[in-house]
């Protein structure tokens, strides 16, 4: 027995030594592994961004412009994004997204180890890069802080960031950050902006099939684009619906019904084209005051004076008026042909086609083919025939005036979902128009048209074009006379007259080359007689007339030459329209304004604009002038407007050689000015007076602006007893070669 005992002792000692060595080895290995892992994590986390930044993070968002009823009329953005709260995303969208992207979102701590292991195994098999398996939190970390490259290094950083995000934020906060940040195609970021872009509705109103389609986009927005690849988008949407069904989030009946629905998009039109010149004026102002970054990324809310309905009416009136002018002067041709360049009929694109067209709009189209009696044109995804009847006004055969590759101007009569359209042939010879409408009580600009086509010319003729005012300047002359004691029924001699100037005699004439003899001031203004206006200005002194024009807000440089009195003065349509609003405002000038309020993305008011009010003339003078300008409509050069049966007043204006046609007029509550002409100041053609070219546009607009509304009433005419204010006579030299106006 002692011998046996002696044999076992060394064996047990040896075993104990081996166990000890194994344990020590395992401890060393574990320590080394822990150290290596810690070192590796330290290396990968060294450059990680500070998660604390997320507490103050706000994604770049759209600055939106609203009209006077809170409707969006424009926006500025580097990224199309609308920041929304968790409650703004409906349960159906949240469940669709979680079902397809991260089923365990509400249970994991930022990382789904089982998904990572499965993805890693697949990557090893395919020898590809690490991809997939990202939770919503990991995707958020990547989108906010990391590069999009697919590598092991980036995946580790993504996981570390996800854990930190989960420790600091709640699940609803994480979901909201993700939903506002993710890219969803076509320049759209976030599900709220995507819902508005693809379906023209807020996210809270999404249906199951719509929510599923949006939830399928994060995987690959371009590949599954419902615009570019509708068949792929449909399959992806149905995959999301099936995933929701498997997760028990919807019933089989709901799934079947939604899968059977087609994808029907209602793409949101860019609102900027409605009032592009107005929006551009605001952009310049905001950038000068707040800086470009704040305007394009800061999510400002800009509340403007514009009325979207009146703007549509203004756009239509100007385009219809220009089309009528073009037709009066016949076909001129001179069409651009794309086949003279390296462009083909198949790949040609025109800027007019960037936005979905609307019925009654005007745009440029491409002639695809021409045959006797008809032609086929294309614009965007639409094609349309043009028949001889559609071009009858040209009095020419289509095959004589059109050929394949020509760019023609057309008016859209109808559009069909299948891409068929009906158009009429129009012409764009270069004639331009401008319109400004101002609310009298507030000075707010309600509509602004700065030209025929913003895509072709950004120049704003409503605010930047200084054009000779013609006879529309005469009311300032008569205002000075009335304010200094004259009465409407005072008489003046309309007869040949010669005015002496420093460079010789100035002999003006009337538009009709006739003279009426002794007439009242009221009739002289209503019939736009030149000689009486010049005599009044000569008696008052042209400097006095100019001083009165400045009271009305005319800031353009007016040189003290006598022909200024009959319109040889250059002003902008905005100045002239704002000036005329003094008359219905009882002599008070209210500076025109675009903006009523600007707030930041949190609703804090950055600025609030209130009317800038100044006395320009006496209420008595304003009321007398209003009655005299009513005579222009009732019995004068603007008599065509008398058929409208509203209280209206205004003045026509036509410059020498018919280069500028004006009508500026007002109701008790709204003042509108219209100008028509060419940028290069060439003649519009014989007889293209303010009454013939501009007044019809004004009437078309005002009919819409006043329809169904209380038009108000002008203030009653005051007692016409002599004005106690004495007249001051100052007779300066007249210009030797100023342009005569009518």
| Paired residues of 598 in beta bridges | 302, 607
Question: Exposed/middle/buried for 70, CB within 10 Å: 0-12, 13-18, 19+?
Answer: exposed
Q: What is the DSSP letter of 271?
A: S
Give the pairing of strands 649-654 and 407-415: unpaired
Please identify which of the residues 99, 134, 305, 471 carries the catalytic annotation: 471
Question: Exposed/middle/buried for 196, CB within 10 Å: 0-12, 13-18, 19+?
Answer: buried
| Paired residues of 590 in beta bridges | 613
Helix and strand counts by DSSP (H, E) for the chain = 21, 25
Q: Give the helix/strand (H/E) hosting 142.
A: helix 136-145
Q: Which residue has the tokens 């099936």?
A: 242
Q: Please, which residues have CB within 8 angstroms of residue 741's CB and are 6 or more apart in sequence? A: 468, 469, 470, 471, 473, 530, 563, 566, 567, 568, 653, 654, 655, 656
Q: Give the helix/strand (H/E) hosting 81.
A: strand 80-81
- d(CA 623, CA 524) in angstroms, rounded, equals 18
Using an 8 Å Cβ cutoff, are 303 and 598 in contact? yes
Region of 229 on the Ramachandran plot (φ > 0 left; ψ -120 to 50 alpha; else beta):
beta
Using an 8 Å Cβ cutoff, are 285 and 295 in contact? no
Q: Which residue has the tokens 């013939």?
A: 692
Q: Mark whether 608 is an active-site residue.
A: no
Q: What is the 3-state secondary structure (H, E, C) of 181-210?
A: HCECCCCEECHHHHHHHHHCCCHHHCCHHH
| Paired residues of 48 in beta bridges | none
Q: Mark whether 361 is an active-site residue.
A: no
- d(CA 295, CA 298) in angstroms, rounded, equals 6
Q: Which residue has the tokens 């379906």?
A: 199
The CB-side HSE value for 673 (13 A sphere, CA atoms) comes to 28
Using an 8 Å Cβ cutoff, are 656 and 741 in contact? yes
- d(CA 507, CA 514) in angstroms, rounded, equals 14
Q: Which residue has the tokens 């950004």?
A: 458
Q: Which residue has the tokens 């629905």?
A: 261
- d(CA 457, CA 438) in angstroms, rounded, equals 24
Please identify which of the residues 64, 95, 101, 688 carries the catalytic annotation: 101
- d(CA 102, CA 133) in angstroms, rounded, equals 9
- d(CA 741, CA 656) in angstroms, rounded, equals 5
- d(CA 432, CA 452) in angstroms, rounded, equals 6
Residues belonging to the active site: 101, 471
């Amino acid at each position: 027995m002692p011998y046996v005992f002696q044999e076992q002792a060394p064996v047990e000692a040896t075993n104990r030594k081996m166990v000890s060595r194994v344990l020590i080895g395992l401890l060393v290995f574990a320590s080394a592994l822990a150290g290596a892992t810690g070192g590796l994590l330290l290396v990968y986390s060294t450059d990680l961004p500070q998660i604390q930044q997320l507490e103050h993070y706000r994604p770049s968002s759209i600055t939106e412009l609203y009209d006077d009823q809170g409707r969006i009329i424009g926006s500025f953005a580097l990224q199309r994004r609308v920041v929304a709260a968790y409650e703004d995303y409906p349960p159906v969208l949240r469940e669709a997204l979680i079902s397809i992207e991260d089923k365990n979102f509400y249970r994991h701590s930022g990382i789904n180890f089982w998904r990572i292991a499965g993805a890693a195994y697949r990557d090893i098999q395919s020898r590809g890069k690490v991809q997939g398996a990202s939770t919503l939190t990991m995707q958020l970390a990547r989108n906010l802080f990391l590069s999009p490259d697919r590598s092991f290094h980036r995946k580790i950083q993504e996981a570390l960031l996800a854990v930190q995000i989960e420790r600091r934020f709640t699940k609803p906060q994480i979901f909201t950050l993700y939903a506002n940040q993710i890219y969803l195609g076509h320049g759209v970021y976030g599900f709220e902006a995507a819902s508005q872009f693809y379906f023209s509705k807020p996210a809270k109103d999404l249906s199951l099939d719509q929510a599923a389609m949006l939830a399928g986009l994060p995987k690959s927005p371009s590949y599954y684009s419902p615009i570019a690849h509708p068949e792929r988008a449909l399959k992806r949407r149905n995959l999301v619906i099936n995933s929701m069904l498997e997760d028990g989030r919807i019933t089989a009946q709901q799934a079947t019904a939604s899968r059977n629905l087609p994808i029907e998009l209602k793409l949101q039109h860019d609102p900027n084209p409605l009032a592009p010149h107005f929006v551009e004026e605001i952009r310049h102002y905001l950038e000068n005051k707040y800086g470009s970054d704040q305007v394009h990324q800061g999510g400002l809310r800009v509340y403007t004076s514009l009325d979207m309905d009146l703007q549509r009416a203004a756009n239509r009136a100007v385009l219809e008026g220009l089309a009528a002018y073009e037709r009066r002067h016949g076909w001129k041709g001179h069409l651009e042909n794309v086949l003279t360049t390296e462009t083909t009929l198949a790949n040609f694109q025109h800027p007019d086609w960037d936005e979905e067209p609307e019925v009654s709009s005007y745009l440029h189209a491409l002639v695809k083919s021409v045959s006797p009696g008809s032609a086929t044109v294309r614009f965007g995804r639409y094609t349309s025939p043009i028949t001889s009847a559609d071009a009858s006004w040209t009095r020419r055969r289509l095959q004589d005036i059109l050929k394949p590759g020509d760019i023609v101007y057309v008016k859209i009569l109808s559009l069909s979902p299948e891409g068929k359209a009906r158009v009429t042939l129009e012409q764009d010879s270069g004639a331009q128009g401008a319109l400004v409408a101002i609310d009298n009580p507030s000075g707010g600009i309600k509509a602004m048209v700065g030209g025929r086509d913003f895509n072709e010319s950004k120049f704003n003729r409503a605010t930047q074009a200084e054009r000779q005012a013609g006879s529309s300047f005469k009311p300032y002359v008569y205002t000075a006379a009335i304010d200094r004691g004259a009465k409407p029924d005072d008489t003046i001699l309309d007869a040949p007259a010669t005015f002496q100037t420093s460079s010789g005699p100035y002999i003006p004439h009337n538009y009709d080359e006739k003279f009426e003899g002794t007439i009242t001031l009221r009739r002289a203004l209503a019939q736009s007689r030149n000689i009486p206006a010049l005599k009044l200005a000569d008696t008052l002194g042209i400097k006095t007339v100019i001083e009165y024009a400045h009271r009305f807000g005319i800031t353009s440089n007016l040189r003290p030459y006598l022909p200024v009195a009959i319109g040889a003065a250059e002003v902008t349509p905005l100045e002239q329209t704002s000036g005329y609003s003094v008359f219905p405002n009882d002599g008070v000038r209210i500076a025109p304004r675009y903006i009523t309020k600007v707030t930041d993305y949190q609703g804090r008011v950055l600025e609030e604009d209130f009317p800038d009010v100044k006395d320009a003339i006496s209420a008595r003078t304003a009321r007398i002038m209003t009655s005299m300008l009513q005579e222009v409509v009732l019995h004068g050069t603007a008599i065509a407007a008398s058929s409208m049966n509203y209280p209206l007043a205004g003045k026509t204006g036509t410059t020498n050689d018919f280069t500028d046609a004006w009508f500026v007029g007002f109701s008790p509550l709204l003042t509108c000015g219209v100008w028509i002409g060419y940028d290069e100041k060439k003649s519009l053609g014989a007889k293209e007076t303010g009454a013939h070219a501009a007044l019809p546009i004004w009437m078309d607009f005002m009919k819409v602006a006043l329809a169904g509304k209380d038009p108000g009433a002008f203030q009653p005419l005051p007692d016409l007893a002599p004005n106690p204010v004495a007249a001051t006579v100052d007779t300066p030299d007249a210009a030797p070669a100023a342009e005569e106006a009518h």
